Structure 1
Amino acid sequence: MKDEVIHLRSAGLDLGNRFLLACTRVPSPTRQGSWSLETERFGTTRAEIRRLLAWLLEARVEVVVMEATSDYWRSVYYVLQPELKLVLVNPAHLKGIKGRKTDPNDTAFLARAGASGMALGSFVPEREIRELRDLTRRRTEIARAAGWEAQWLEKELEDTGMKFSSILSNIVGVTARAILEALIA
């Protein structure tokens, strides 16, 4: 039984920290009903990702499938997304697709999954929403870290016998800072 083909020209990307592998899957020019696979290695710099984009556009791919690997996908996705249809997939979702996924064949597997429409993409919001989410996450991290630092300060003061928390409602507030600065001086 042959795979159902939704996209005649597809590509798969296997992302890493320093380089990525890309595989295009296009109709074979010599054998009707079969496919030609071409694999290329690219760096992860902005220039290399632009070279990848040109390579994919030259192959006239209709869909590009890539795994959401760590944060490596972000820079590639953001450069390719305005020009190509991208499908960002959760690696766990690929386990249920027919076929074997092994490291040497990841890109071909992803290209085949894209051609058959079997790869379900993750939601990637528009740029403004992504930036707002990143800003909100960062603000939350900073607030959490500030809380940890206040707890650390309270513990250190307690270890020295100073019971600031029993007389002050905020041990990092203006009054507490003034007391600490006076002690230091």
Structure 2
Amino acid sequence: MMTLVVIPVEERCGGADLGKTDVKVCIRVPGTGKRARCEVRTFSTMNDGLLEVRDWLVENRIARIGMEATASYWKPLFYLLEATEGIEPWLLNSRHIKTVPGRKTDVKDCQWICKLVEHGLVRPSFVPPCDIRQLRDLTRYRTETVRDRARDVNRLAMFLEDTGIKLSSVVTDITGRSARAMLACSPSPAAARPARSPLPKGRNGHQLTYRPLTAGTPTSLAPAPTKCPQC
């Protein structure tokens, strides 16, 4: 009978299963004889705990460690090991490390990840460099901020429509200077309504007034005449 011998690709490797409060880390290093020695430890996800993980991996000369991309829990440990010389962290896709059906625990998950890395059965996901990550976070934050502002403006427009104020029908931008001036002069229980709301302002900031263009024609909206400085 033929005996199948599986030769590990990575002799010193590890696997980590990260959670919100703790991380389970499994390492496999050469042991006595031909069998590898496996050890599992639990660490905290606080800064002190992550530093202990790094020191333990450096002490055992772990060259490669794999971890599952779980929410954002992987980022602190990945960035710490990325900056550590001699350790290559791998971010693994959860679809590629599905274990066999059965009882699922964090300890079994980290052991399974460690075995997959040891025999070269998984490949790491792409993680951009630090400069690209910072630029990506900045652009994503700006996109979310612009979307939040648009939602707030739409919410304000719907609120004004519910109260019977047709501000969006007479101005283009309900957050502009003219629209804010009109809203400031709207009736309120604390202040009496003024005799007339202020007229809107043009793009250059000049106050607009009503004046007839020609005799016999209705009045139209036109900029107020400016005085000559020599007069």
Establish whether residue 159 from structure 1 lines up as the match of residue 162 from structure 2. Answer: yes
Normalised by the length of structure 1, the TM-score is 0.91
CA distance, structure 2, for counterparts of residue 178 and residue 130 of structure 1: 42
* Cα drift, residue 172 of structure 1: 1.5
CA distance, structure 2, for counterparts of residue 59 and residue 178 of structure 1: 69
Question: Match of 1:169, SS?
Answer: coil
Structure 1 residue ranges without an equivalent (≥5) = none
User: Which structure has the larger Rg over C-alpha atoms?
Assistant: 2
* Cα drift, residue 3 of structure 1: 3.2
Partner of 2:10: 7
CA distance, structure 2, for counterparts of residue 161 and residue 75 of structure 1: 51
Q: Which has the higher helix share?
A: 1
Question: Match of 1:23, SS?
Answer: strand
Partner of 1:22: 25
Partner of 2:213: none
Question: Match of 1:170, SS?
Answer: coil
Establish whether residue 150 from structure 1 lines up as the match of residue 127 from structure 2. Answer: no
Partner of 1:59: 60
Cα RMSD after superposing both structures: 1.7
* Cα drift, residue 123 of structure 1: 0.8
Question: Match of 1:121, SS?
Answer: coil
> C-alpha deviations, 1:129-179, integer Å up to 9, x for none?
111111111111110011110110000000011111111111122222222
Establish whether residue 125 from structure 1 lines up as the match of residue 128 from structure 2. Answer: yes
Q: Which has the higher contact order (CA 8 A, sep 6+)?
A: 1
Structure 2 residue ranges without an equivalent (≥5) = 192-231
Q: Amino acid of the residue matched to residue 63 of structure 2?
A: E
CA distance, structure 1, for counterparts of residue 151 and residue 127 of structure 2: 32
Q: Amino acid of the residue matched to residue 121 of structure 1?
A: P
Q: Amino acid of the residue matched to residue 148 of structure 2?
A: A
- Percent identical across equivalent pairs? 35
CA distance, structure 2, for counterparts of residue 75 and residue 157 of structure 1: 45
* Cα drift, residue 100 of structure 1: 6.5
CA distance, structure 2, for counterparts of residue 131 and residue 162 of structure 1: 44
Partner of 1:38: 39
CA distance, structure 1, for counterparts of residue 148 and residue 170 of structure 2: 24
Establish whether residue 171 from structure 1 lines up as the match of residue 184 from structure 2. Answer: no
CA distance, structure 1, for counterparts of residue 183 and residue 77 of structure 2: 49
CA distance, structure 1, for counterparts of residue 179 and residue 7 of structure 2: 70
Bigger mean CA deviation after superposition, 165-174 or 16-25: 165-174
In structure 2, relative to structure 1, the CA distance for the partners of 1:39 and 1:100 (3 Å cut) is farther
Question: Match of 1:142, SS?
Answer: helix
* Cα drift, residue 25 of structure 1: 0.7
